[in-house]
């Protein structure tokens, strides 16, 4: 239920992680926002929800349990959801060191990091339209590239978690352009960003540490989700609160091919 003083409902995926929790906390600090943590682990979800509500004084923080690697789980959330969504921050991602398969039979990094973003936007399009002007922020990375449209699940190439991760983050940046074009006339903007280099489970699995704090990593996503100056921007890629040209966005045929390939997983 949206309180009288609530001006917006914001969903943050992966909100039990390093950057996602900081994004959720910074959004909740704007007490006119209801913030919904989209998580898969109930114990972590309860702990993070309580910590954020206590730290911000915002009583309108809650969670929903969803496995973002599974379309059926995302669709179940959309089916039980009532009301508009003003902000959707797609942030959850994984970097398993060995190739893993979801219960729906899809390679786990592609399913979570790319299709998870795709399915969330697809499932919540009507809720975003209801809230328009609404914003989608896709947390991507500068560490992106190597996308092979013929081998999105590493069936032909040997699996390497760095290569699978870079491909998935390229996909996030390309899908940002595709959805921005499709949702523009509905008053829904879609932008992507690199958050920052933060020490986390995800970065450690890739062999990285991180020299920025989770709060620093959250700054650009939260700015894209809320700041007046980027209200009209859509289909763009940002680093450290600056627009950066994205070579993947220029390949519009490739963008549409990837969108079609992802849509095929929904049929
Ligand atoms: N850290 C960096 O230096 C860095 C740099 C560039 C970009 N990024 C991007 O920033 C985002 C956040 O990364 P992070 O470093 O904060 O990672 P993290 O701390 O490992 O957090 C990842 C989050 O995703 C959640 N998640 C993973 N699979 C899920 C699933 N199937 N269903 C639901 N939730 C799932 C995790 O849940 P659990 O807590 O249950 O595991 C966790 O909350 C990612 O998109 C990443 O690509 C990070």
Ligand 1: residue whose CA is nearest its atom 7: 141
Task: With respect to residue 177, please indicate whether it lies within any of the assigned structural domains.
Answer: yes
Catalytic residues: 165
pLDDT of 2: 38
- The verdict on residue 2 lying in a domain is no
Count of the separate structural domains present in the chain: 1
- The DSSP result for 23-82, as a single string, is HHHHHHTSTTEEEEEEES-HHHHHHHHHHHHHHH--S-EEEEE--TT-HHHHHHHHHH--
Distance 91 CA to ligand 1 centre (A): 6
CATH, residue 247: 3.40.50.720
**Which pLDDT does position 267 carry in this prediction?**
76
Q: Is 86 in the pocket of ligand 1 (CB under 6 A)?
A: no
CB 221 less than 6 A from any atom of ligand 1: no
pTM equals 0.97
Round the CA-based radius of gyration of the chain to a whole number and report it.
Answer: 17
Pocket lining: 112 vs ligand 1, CB cutoff 6 Å? yes
Q: What is the pLDDT along the chain (267 residues), one digit of tens a residue?
A: 334 455 799 999 999 999 999 999 999 998 688 999 999 999 999 999 999 999 999 999 999 999 999 999 999 999 999 999 999 999 999 999 999 999 999 999 999 999 999 999 999 999 999 999 999 999 999 999 999 999 999 999 999 999 999 999 999 999 999 999 999 999 999 999 999 999 999 999 999 999 999 999 999 999 999 999 999 999 999 999 999 999 999 999 999 999 999 999 997
Q: What's the pLDDT at 3?
A: 40
> Helix or strand or coil: residue 238?
strand
Which of 103, 95, 245, 263 shows the shortest CA–CA distance to 179?
Answer: 263
Tell me if 3 is assigned to some domain. no
**193 falls within a domain:** yes
Per the domain annotation, does 210 fall within a domain?
Answer: yes
Cα distances (Å, whole numbers) of residue 4 to 13, 64, 128, 265: 25, 22, 19, 39
CA angle, residues 50, 112, 176, in degrees to nearest 5: 100
Structure tokens at 245: 């040209």
Domain holding 88, by residue range, is: 8-264
**Is residue 25 in some structural domain?**
yes
Q: Is the CB of 92 under 6 A from ligand 1?
A: yes
Contacts 24+ apart (CB under 8 A), 49-57: 51/21, 51/25, 52/21, 52/24, 52/25, 52/28, 53/28, 55/25, 55/28, 56/25, 56/28, 56/29, 56/31, 57/31
Q: Residue 168 CA: which ligand 1 atom is closest?
A: 47
């Amino acid at each position: 239920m949206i309180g009288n003083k609530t001006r917006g409902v914001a969903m943050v995926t992966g909100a039990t992680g390093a950057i996602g929790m900081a994004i959720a906390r910074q959004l909740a600090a704007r007490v006119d926002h209801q913030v919904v943590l989209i998580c898969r682990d109930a114990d972590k979800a309860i702990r993070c929800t309580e910590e954020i509500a206590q730290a911000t004084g915002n009583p309108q923080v809650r969670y929903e349990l969803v496995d973002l690697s599974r379309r059926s789980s995302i669709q179940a959330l959309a089916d039980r959801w009532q009301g508009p969504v003003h902000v959707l921050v797609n942030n959850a991602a994984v970097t398993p060191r060995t190739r893993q398969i979801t219960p729906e039979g899809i390679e786990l990094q592609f399913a979570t990091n790319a299709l998870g973003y795709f399915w969330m936007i697809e499932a919540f399009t009507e809720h975003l339209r209801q809230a328009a002007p609404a914003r989608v922020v896709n947390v991507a990375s500068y560490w992106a590239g190597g996308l092979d449209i013929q081998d999105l699940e590493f069936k032909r190439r040997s699996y390497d978690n760095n290569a699978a991760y870079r491909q998935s983050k390229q996909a996030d940046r390309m899908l940002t352009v595709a959805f921005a074009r499709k949702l523009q006339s509905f008053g829904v903007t879609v932008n992507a960003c690199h958050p920052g280099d933060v020490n986390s489970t995800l970065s450690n699995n890739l062999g990285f540490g991180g020299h920025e704090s989770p709060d620093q990593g959250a700054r650009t996503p939260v700015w894209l989700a809320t700041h007046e100056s980027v209200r009209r921007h859509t289909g763009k890629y940002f680093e450290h609160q600056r627009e950066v040209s994205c070579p993947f966005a220029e390949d519009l045929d490739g963008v549409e091919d990837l969108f079609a390939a992802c849509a095929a997983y929904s049929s």
